């Protein structure tokens, strides 16, 4: 088994050496014999096949009193399927070093598969079995449920989780986006096997499926493999509608009293949808303010100049029915107020003045150059292809992206900065921040 796993890892490393650049990547639209549409990138350098896919219907399909259903179902998909119990199913995966992964978000259940070419039929058959005939055996359900509950209990005193959960619950009260992905100590025990089966029945359907495949396969072979995994699924799902939403609570600060040496801060507000014409300008502006790089304004002002935190950032997050910009940091309890003042000041300054021409030029250069790093393995390429399809970006997005970034003018950046950051913040703090209390955020 170790030797086979090494073979898979070696094949992946070989792919790195020969991976095509972003501009050279050729994406094919294909249709399987059963009619399933997919995107394919052929890579003949190594005998490796990687699949990435998504089903519409993530945690937003959970009943409010049974939050955690979708996540529990995803965790159990490789715990036996068809006539294979959990032990036998895992032995079949391990014998051929087949990698299967399942994870659930608010809008989608996503999955991936990676296998050596010689074991591809077995790999796609096992995936198809997991999706079309999951067992949800009671012993596996209770074992996995217990693991999730133990994790949730540990997080009761984790300031990072407390600040994040309170932010989402306050921003989206009485909406599926405001619920914790894994459920809670109250809701998860209510999830029955029938609830798991009902989730799988409603979500695992071909009409809500998005598929991408990368590897040493042609269109005909890729189509046959896709059908091995997905053709047995019903044609149509039965999803509950999810209402459009915008973050609530803007202009408020909420302090959660917790006896820990550091305070954790979550902050955010209204974002911009991925389909919005202003999205690319917002993406560039957000990078300048705090989008994860060590050159951002927030990082420079909070970390480098004052040493108030190890890190600070903010990011654009978009769902099918909402969009937010959300960030966070952690700092000493007695300096939390200082850090928050700087963060709020820089956000207001960006809204009022926008970026400088120098900042805009530097951000464009970085974002264009760094994109290749998201396409340097077969797994990353397959994931990007799926995301591009879900976001309706078009098969030529990789080639158009540089021009779209170059097309963001300083006037665009200033206008969108005001739109993105001018609507106020919701801030949650977990810890004992000196001098900070819950209440309105004042300039």
* Mean pLDDT confidence for 17-33: 74
What is residue 4's predicted lDDT score, i.e. its pLDDT? 41
Position 8 pLDDT exceeds 70:
no
* pLDDT for 5: 42
Per-residue confidence (pLDDT) for residue 373, from 0 to 100: 87
Tokens of 39: 């995107």
Query: Cβ(134)–Cβ(110) under 8 Å?
Result: no
Given a cut of 90, is residue 24 above it in pLDDT?
Answer: no
pTM of whole model > 0.85?
yes
Task: Provide mean pLDDT across the span 255-268.
Answer: 95
**Residue 1 in this model has a pLDDT that exceeds 80:** no
Domains with residue ranges and CATH for the chain = 2-230 (3.30.830.10), 252-440 (3.30.830.10)
Q: pLDDT at residue 300 above 50?
A: yes
For residue 86, the model assigns a pLDDT of 96
pLDDT per residue over 151-183, tens digit each? 999 999 999 999 999 999 999 999 999 999 999
Angle at 205 between CA 202 and CA 211, to 5 degrees: 135
Q: If you write DSSP's letter for every residue of 51-73 in order, what string do you get? A: EEEEEE-SGGGS-GGGTTHHHHH
The pLDDT of residue 45 is 86
Task: Quote the pLDDT of residue 9.
Answer: 47
**Strands 439-440 and 252-257: what pairing?**
antiparallel
Backbone dihedral angles phi then psi of residue 225, each to the nearest 5 degrees: -65, -40
The answer on pLDDT for 47 being more than 60 is yes
Residue 20 reports pLDDT greater than 60: no
Least confident of 27-36, 101-110, 372-381: 372-381
For the segment 279-291, the average pLDDT, to the nearest whole number, is 97
pLDDT tens for 219-251 read 999 999 999 999 999 999 999 999 999 999 999
Segment 419-424 shows an average pLDDT of 96
What pairing do the DSSP bridges indicate for beta strands 252-257 and 426-431? parallel
Closest to 160 (Cα-Cα) out of 254, 253, 256, 264? 264
Mean of per-residue pLDDT scores for the chain: 94
Pair 270, 171: CB distance under 8 Å? no
- Alpha-carbon span 213 to 210, nearest angstrom: 11
Q: Please check whether residue 311 is in contact with residue 240, taking contact to mean a CB–CB distance below 8 angstroms.
A: no
pLDDT at 22 over 60: no
Contact between 325 and 270 (Cβ < 8 Å): yes
Pair of tokens at residue 33: 């014999």
Q: Is the pLDDT of residue 16 over 70?
A: no
What was the pLDDT predicted at 13? 44
Q: What is the pLDDT of residues 309-355, one digit of tens each?
A: 999 999 999 999 999 999 999 999 999 999 999 999 999 999 999 99
Residue 21 binned pLDDT confidence (cut-offs 50, 70, 90): low
DSSP 306: T
What is the predicted pLDDT for the residue at 25? 85
Alpha-carbon distance 208 to 238, whole Å? Answer: 10
């Amino acid at each position: 088994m170790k030797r086979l796993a090494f073979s898979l890892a070696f094949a992946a490393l070989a792919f790195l050496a020969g991976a095509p650049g972003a501009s050279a990547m050729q994406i094919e639209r294909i249709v399987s014999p059963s009619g399933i549409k997919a995107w394919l990138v052929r890579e003949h350098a190594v005998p490796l096949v990687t699949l990435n896919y998504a089903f519409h219907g993530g945690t937003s399909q959970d009943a409010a009193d049974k939050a955690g259903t979708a996540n529990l179902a995803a965790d159990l998909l490789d715990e036996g399927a068809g006539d294979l119990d959990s032990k036998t199913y895992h032995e079949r995966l391990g014998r051929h070093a087949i990698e299967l992964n399942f994870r659930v978000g608010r809008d989608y259940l996503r999955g991936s598969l990676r296998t050596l070419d010689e074991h591809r039929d077995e790999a796609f058959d096992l995936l198809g079995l997991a999706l079309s005939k999951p067992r949800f055996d009671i012993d596996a359900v209770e074992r996995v449920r217990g693991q999730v509950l133990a994790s949730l209990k540990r997080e009761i005193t984790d300031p990072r989780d407390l600040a994040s959960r309170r932010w989402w619950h306050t921003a989206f009260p009485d909406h599926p986006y405001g619920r914790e992905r894994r459920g809670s100590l109250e809701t998860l025990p209510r999830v029955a096997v029938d609830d798991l089966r009902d989730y799988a029945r409603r979500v695992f359907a071909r009409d809500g499926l998005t598929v991408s495949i990368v590897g040493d396969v042609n269109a005909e072979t890729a189509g046959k493999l896709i059908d091995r995994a997905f053709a047995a699924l019903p044609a149509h799902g039965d999803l509950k509608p999810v209402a459009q939403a915008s973050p609530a609570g803007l202009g408020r600060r909420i302090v959660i009293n917790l006896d820990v040496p550091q305070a954790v801060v979550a902050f955010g507000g209204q974002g911009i949808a991925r389909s919005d014409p202003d999205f690319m300008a917002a993406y560039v502006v957000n990078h300048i303010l705090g989008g994860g790089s060590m050159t951002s304004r927030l990082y420079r002002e909070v970390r480098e100049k004052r040493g108030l935190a190890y890190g600070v950032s903010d990011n654009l997050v978009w769902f099918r029915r909402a969009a937010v910009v959300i960030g966070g940091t952690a700092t000493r309890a007695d300096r939390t107020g200082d850090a928050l003042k700087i963060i709020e000041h820089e956000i207001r300054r960006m809204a009022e003045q926008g970026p400088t021409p120098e900042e805009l030029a530097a951000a464009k250069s970085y974002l264009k150059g760094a994109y290749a790093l998201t396409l340097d393995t077969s797994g990353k390429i397959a994931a990007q292809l799926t995301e591009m399809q879900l976001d309706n970006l078009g098969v030529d997005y990789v080639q158009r992206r540089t021009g779209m970034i170059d097309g963001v003018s300083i006037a665009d950046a200033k206008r969108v900065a005001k739109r993105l950051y001018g609507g106020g913040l919701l801030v949650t703090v977990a810890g004992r921040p000196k001098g900070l209390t819950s209440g309105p955020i004042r300039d």
